[in-house]
Amino acid sequence: MSESIVMDRTAIEAVLPHRAPFLLVDEVLELEPGIRCRARRALRPDEFWFAGHFPGNPVMPGVLVVEALAQTGAIAALSQPGSQDRIVLFAGIDKVRFKRVVRPGDTLELACEVTALRAGVGRGNVKATVDGELVCRGELMFALADAEAAAAGQPTMSTAPDRERPA
């Protein structure tokens, strides 16, 4: 059964500032702005990291799996109204665990649920899978900052409304 695509790469680039080769999300499958996002990344054998990590035994670095999850969460955060002039910055990485390696040819399924957003700082529960097998899970914290100020080296927190999600 094929899933419908909510956002393609062009639509993702309209929300995220990331570009190739560091844009790690190919398509968005589900999106509730400010609440959750489910996305996908198909891993090709020619990805820049596979040649050196590791020669003869290519594995996607765990830090890039976490970055793909962070970009998935950023899509959720930046898709909410009033976020057009914002950028999402890492504020913390907690309880991240890796359970399976990711190899060329795998399709990485990415999910983030925003669990809290207060004073421009948020937290999300994240999970990555391949073929239904858990790859990685954890909690990511992020800060919504003014994009122009961040580009000038002066990131400031957002004045976005606070929102607490039930556990």
What DSSP state is assigned to residue 75?
H
Residue 3 lies inside a defined structural domain of this protein: no
Residue 1 lies inside a defined structural domain of this protein: no
Instruction: Give dist(CA 135, CA 157) in Å, integer.
Output: 32
Q: Which domain holds residue 145?
A: 9-164
- Name the band, by pLDDT with cuts 50, 70 and 90, for residue 101: very high
Residue 121 lies inside a defined structural domain of this protein: yes
Expressed in angstroms, the distance from the first to the final Cα of the chain is 31
How far is CA 152 from each of CA 83, 142, 149, rounded to the nearest angstrom?
Answer: 18, 19, 5
Residue 51 lies inside a defined structural domain of this protein: yes
State how far Cα 140 lies from the chain centre: 10
CATH of the domain at 143: 3.10.129.10
Please write the tens of the pLDDT for every residue from 15-64. Answer: 999 999 999 999 999 999 999 999 999 999 999 999 999 999 999 999 99
Residue 4 lies inside a defined structural domain of this protein: no
Per annotation, catalytic residue among 9, 18, 40, 53: 53
Peptide bond into 21 cis (omega under 30): yes
Q: Name the β-bridge partners of 111.
A: 38, 127
- Name the band, by pLDDT with cuts 50, 70 and 90, for residue 1: very low
Q: For the chain, what percent of residues have pLDDT higher than 70?
A: 91
Residue 2 lies inside a defined structural domain of this protein: no
Residue 160 pLDDT more than 60?
no
Residue 158 lies inside a defined structural domain of this protein: yes
Centre a 10 Å sphere on the Cβ of residue 13 and count the other Cβ atoms it contains: 15
Q: State how many domains the chain has.
A: 1
Average pLDDT on 102-129 reads: 96
Residue 100 lies inside a defined structural domain of this protein: yes
CA dihedral over 112, 92, 94, 40, signed as positive or negative:
positive
53 in catalytic set: yes
Q: Name the β-bridge partners of 39.
A: 28, 110
Residue 119 pLDDT more than 90?
no
Please write the tens of the pLDDT for every residue from 66-85. Answer: 999 999 999 999 999 888 89
Look up the pTM and report it. 0.91
Closest CA to 24 of 117, 136, 145, 133: 136
